[in-house]
Amino acid sequence: MYLKVMGVAHIAEAANGQQALLLLETNAHLFDFTICDLRMDVMDGFEFLRCAPRARIGRVIIATALEDDFLSAAEEIVLNYGLRLAGRLTKPIDFLRLKNLIATASNKPKAKYVFRKRLPFQCWTIADLSTALQRGQFVPYFQPKLDFLTRKPIGVEVLARWMHPDQGMISPSQFIPLMESAGLIDWLTVELLHNVLDCTKKWYSARPEISISFNASPLTLEKSAIPNQWLGIVKEHNVSPERIKIEITETALPKDYKSLLESATRLHMHGFGLSLDDFGTGYSSLQLLSQIPFSEIKIDQSFVAAARNNKRSVVILNAIVSLARNLDLQTVVEGIETESDAVFFQQLGFDLGQGYHLAQPMAGDDLMRWLSAQQSVPLSGAEARFTPSQYIPR
């Protein structure tokens, strides 16, 4: 009755998920909204939403009498189904809130489905990648890591960029998997390491506190020759291994874990720092921390987004801070996009931040100017941010 007062023209009701699916089969209407009670007999709301034709049910509003933590998980599941979520309601239903949800969602543009052309990287061959390596087309970019309290730069992460002569700048997410599958990732790593150490000569003596972090493929770290090779390159450039941190991605750990453990331990023995990247997104974080001598953990940016609306995520983040302090580990939070993000994680007790709000990835020359600027201006709020003239893809 209340929905009719709101001006809803067509309303259909079902007692459970099975009845709702039958209703969709026999009803000619394309619904703009589906209000779905998650806890129903015969077929619950999750089963219904998983089976329902997406084009017929419109935007979804989930309803339940269960606690907020359950609703947060339910929202994630609905999005994983590929459905458009308009919001959530707790029972008994507040019809004023329902009206607001419908009004807000109705003002959003309808989704459009676009068939995209295949991405260029699907046409690259091993010969293309080898030629690009030979011609020096892969270059390092640097994204600073800043101390949350002082907003001073503590280190930089090296990010590979492919400066393609025809396609412009290409981000690593498009070519790193190809490099790994083609067996070229070790070559790329060595080339980048040489380039990075060449760049750092310009500011090495002036800014000794700035560490250099670079990502190492687990496939590379499986090889027993890597520690001696990297140590030799560092010595060739007269850079102390203590200035370098090797980021190992937890979500991409190799099958040959014993070889990884050996290489990581030997690198640590020679003075390299070890950082566990994307902490908390894989399946063996605690086992890794107990066996590999990490000096730093990096919190994946997915936690940044989740912490804004999820109490459980905040509890987990507090536990991570406590764990890191007890293990004497430095903490870095990735994906800091706003000042409120920076303040929030600073108050939780995290050490360093990295993200577009603090500093974008930049070329070596831009980094030089940025570091010089940090010594001459107050490092707080908007004054600590730097935006290179050229847009840098993530």
124: DSSP letter: -
pLDDT confidence of residue 111? 44
Rounded to whole angstroms, what are the CA distances from 80 to 85, 87, 101, 357? 11, 15, 21, 28
pLDDT confidence of residue 114? 35
Give the max Cα distance, the chain: 79
Q: Report the DSSP beta bridge partners of residue 352.
A: 147, 332
pLDDT confidence of residue 353? 97
pLDDT confidence of residue 153? 94
pLDDT confidence of residue 197? 93
Rounded to whole angstroms, what are the CA distances from 313 to 75, 279, 317, 346? 15, 13, 6, 16
Torsion of CA 72, 74, 78, 84, to 10 degrees: -50
Question: Among residues 131, 117, 126, which one has the least CA distance to residue 165?
Answer: 131
**192 CB-side CA count, 13 A:** 26
pLDDT confidence of residue 119? 41
pLDDT confidence of residue 331? 97
Q: What single string gives the DSSP state of each residue in 270-290? A: TT-EEEEEEETSSS-HHHHHH
With beta carbons less than 8 A apart as the criterion, state whether 288 and 297 touch.
Answer: no
Residue with the two structure tokens 């987990």: 316
The structure's pTM equals 0.69
pLDDT confidence of residue 4? 53
Domains along the chain?
2-106 (3.40.50.2300), 120-384 (3.20.20.450)
**Chunked mean pLDDT (size 10), the chain, 394 residues:** 56 82 76 83 82 78 73 77 80 77 68 38 76 95 95 95 91 87 92 92 78 91 92 94 90 69 90 90 72 91 77 89 95 93 94 95 91 62 38 34
Q: 3-class SS at 135?
A: coil
pLDDT confidence of residue 161? 95
Is residue 78 left, alpha or beta, with left meaning phi > 0 and alpha meaning psi from -120 to 50?
alpha
Q: 3-class SS at 87?
A: strand
Residue 305: is it exposed, middle or buried by C-beta count within 10 angstroms (0-12/13-18/19+)? middle
Q: List the alpha helices (DSSP H) in 298-385.
A: 301-307, 311-326, 339-348, 364-374
Name the residue type at position 394. Answer: R
Rounded Cα gap, residues 58 and 85, in angstroms = 9
Residue 186: is it exposed, middle or buried by C-beta count within 10 angstroms (0-12/13-18/19+)? middle
- pLDDT tens by residue, 19-69: 888 888 777 667 888 888 888 887 888 888 888 876 677 888 878 777 666
pLDDT confidence of residue 134? 96
pLDDT confidence of residue 56? 75
pLDDT confidence of residue 121? 42
Encoding tokens for residue 186? 């070790």
Residue with the two structure tokens 């902490």: 279
Residue with the two structure tokens 């280190």: 155
Rounded Cα gap, residues 69 and 315, in angstroms = 12
Q: Please give the backbone phi and psi of residue 166, each rounded to the nearest 5 degrees, phi first.
A: -110, -35
- pLDDT tens by residue, 362-384: 999 899 889 888 864 443 443 33
